[in-house]
Amino acid sequence: RFLDQWIAEAKASDVRMLYGMAKTLERHRDGLLNYYRFPISTAPLEGTNNKIKTMKRQAYGFRDQEFFKLKIMAIHQCRYSFTG
């Protein structure tokens, strides 16, 4: 109800940016509300993908594919995080 009311008020306002935001929220309304019913996120997967891409950039020029595979498998055993 709150989201629907906010969208209606924003669309009724004379503020163009609020109207645009309301239209965007209206388009994504079902997905936004479904997240509160089923709080599933791809954030852990995206984080792992980011770590693999970072490791791949750091390992540019290495010839040993098997070592790279082992490093990927060991990502979750690390006690440190990538910085920078």
Q: Which pLDDT belongs to residue 10?
A: 92
pLDDT digits (tens, 9 = 90+) for 62-73: 677 787 787 777
For every residue of the chain, DSSP letters joined together read: -HHHHHHHHHHHSS-HHHHHHHHHHHHTHHHHHHHHHS---SHHHHHHHHHHHHHHHHTTT---HHHHHHHHHTGGG-SS----
pLDDT band at residue 84 under the 50/70/90 scheme = very low
Least confident of 15-24, 34-43, 55-64: 55-64
Share of the chain above pLDDT 70, in %: 88
